[in-house]
Amino acid sequence: MKVLLLGTAAGGGFPQWNCACRMCTAGLPPRTQDCLAVSADGRGWYLVNVSPDIRTQLLGAKPLAAGPGPRDTPVRGAFLTDAELDHSLGLAMLREGAGLRVWAPDAVLTALRADFPLRDIAARYGGWDWQPAGAVEVDGLRVTAVPVGSKRPRYVRSDVDGPWVVAYRIEDPATGGVLVYAPCLAEWSKRFDDLVAGATCVVLDGTFYSPAEMSGATGGKLDNVQRAMGHIPIAGPEGSLARIAAHPGVRWVYTHLNNTNPILDPAGPEHAVVLAGGAAAPPDGTELTL
Ligand code: MLT
Ligand code: MN
Ligand code: ZN
């Protein structure tokens, strides 16, 4: 299986247009908003999340170029982990591509009709096939959704029960490669330990490095906002880096990096801590073969 990391920043991207924090003004390599593409055969590709940057991301990725026919595309569908705007807004940019298949958790399917009526809007442009995320086989990939969170997006008013956030386990039976993609992880449960055990690679929530990063960087009173946002930090005794040590055979890749995250500086001490802990935060465009 081929995995293309199309974007690796959290909502707003890096730098963020209205942010003059230390990181956003440091002239570091920019990153677009989190999503990736996977393929078993290199011909049919599936997006996992669809960021508002998707047009630039698709045009910048050779394997995703249009063709071979005049209106063909290797993009066959998309899996959504949640209904957050940074993970779903890009679908509106793909409205020209009728016939896409989209999988998402039930609550997300409801939100994308009732609160952000993307499904009805898309239907006027040709229409896609929307399916509840569960376990599905597509073009040589086995894709399973696993609930990891109950945080609903801020714009949602519908009183719908979750799960609102899932991770995906994507397996290529031909190679034995297993990808776990979990860009929004509120807590590291026993169930999540079971999910990542035996994975070849885990692309993991790296939104924040430290527990109180937002308040420190932007001067706001945001101390507990991070956890409420549904993102465990990387560092600290309850952070994800301490947990990955229990899975030495796995390749760990952080994504969904918030613009305040000091690991955005590849020469900084925090980035070095991540590498020493057995993980990485590779740039946009990174290609993995599993
Ligand atoms: C999140 O990851 O928590 C959300 O995408 C935040 C946002 O609205 O940008
Ligand atoms: Mn996000
Ligand atoms: Zn910033």
- Strands (DSSP E) contained in the chain are 2-7, 35-39, 45-48, 75-79, 101-104, 129-132, 135-138, 141-149, 165-172, 177-182, 201-205, 251-255, 279-280, 287-289
- Would residue 147 count as lying in a domain? yes
Distant-in-sequence, close-in-space partners of 221: CB < 8 Å, separation ≥ 6: 215
DSSP sequence for 76-104: EEEE-S---HHHHTHHHHTTT-TT-EEEE
Distances (CA, A) of 84 to 49, 185, 220: 10, 13, 22
- Quote the ligand 1 centre to 265 CA distance (angstroms): 21
Output the pLDDT for position 229: 75
- Give the SS3 label for residue 290: coil
Q: Kindly tell me the sign of the dihedral angle through the C-alpha atoms of 146, 149, 154, 155.
A: positive
Using one digit for the tens of pLDDT, what is the confidence trace for 4-35? 999 999 999 999 999 999 999 999 999 999 99
Mutate to test the pocket of ligand 1, among 86, 87, 154 (most ligand atoms within 8 A of CB): 86
- Would residue 58 count as lying in a domain? yes
Q: Atom 6 of ligand 1 has which residue's CA nearest to it?
A: 11
Q: Are 74 and 43 in contact (CB under 8 A)?
A: yes
- Would residue 248 count as lying in a domain? yes
Mutate to test the pocket of ligand 1, among 32, 53, 84, 208 (most ligand atoms within 8 A of CB): 84
Q: Atom 7 of ligand 1 has which residue's CA nearest to it?
A: 11
Q: Which residues surround ligand 2, an ion (CB under 5 A)?
A: 10-11, 84, 86
Range of the domain at 221: 2-283
- Quote the ligand 1 centre to 229 CA distance (angstroms): 7
Mark out the alpha helices in 189-264 (DSSP H runs): 190-196, 213-218, 225-228, 240-244
Q: What is the CB < 6 Å shell around ligand 1?
A: 10-11, 84-86, 184, 229-230
- Quote the ligand 3 centre to 94 CA distance (angstroms): 28
Q: What is the CA radius of gyration of the chain?
A: 18
Output the pLDDT for position 46: 98
pTM over 0.85? The answer is: yes
- Would residue 243 count as lying in a domain? yes
Task: Walk across the sheet containing 251-255 and list its strands.
Answer: 135-138, 141-149, 165-172, 177-182, 201-205, 251-255, 279-280
Which residue ranges in the chain fall short of pLDDT 50?
Answer: 223
The C-alpha atoms of residue 256 and residue 53 are separated, in whole angstroms, by 13
Could you tell me the CATH number of the domain that includes residue 118?
3.60.15.10
- Quote the ligand 1 centre to 172 CA distance (angstroms): 30
- Would residue 288 count as lying in a domain? no
Mutate to test the pocket of ligand 1, among 85, 164, 185 (most ligand atoms within 8 A of CB): 85
Instruction: State the closest ligand 1 atom to the C-alpha of 256, by its place in the atom list counted from 1.
Output: 2
- Quote the ligand 2 centre to 34 CA distance (angstroms): 8
- Would residue 290 count as lying in a domain? no
- Quote the ligand 3 centre to 24 CA distance (angstroms): 4
CA-based nearest residue to 169, from 207, 133, 128: 133
Using one digit for the tens of pLDDT, what is the confidence trace for 124-176? 998 899 999 999 999 999 999 999 999 999 999 988 999 999 999 999 999 99
Output the pLDDT for position 225: 63
- Would residue 267 count as lying in a domain? yes
Output the pLDDT for position 220: 58
Split into its structural domains, the chain has a count of 1
- Would residue 262 count as lying in a domain? yes
- Quote the ligand 3 centre to 209 CA distance (angstroms): 14
Q: Are 47 and 36 in contact (CB under 8 A)?
A: yes
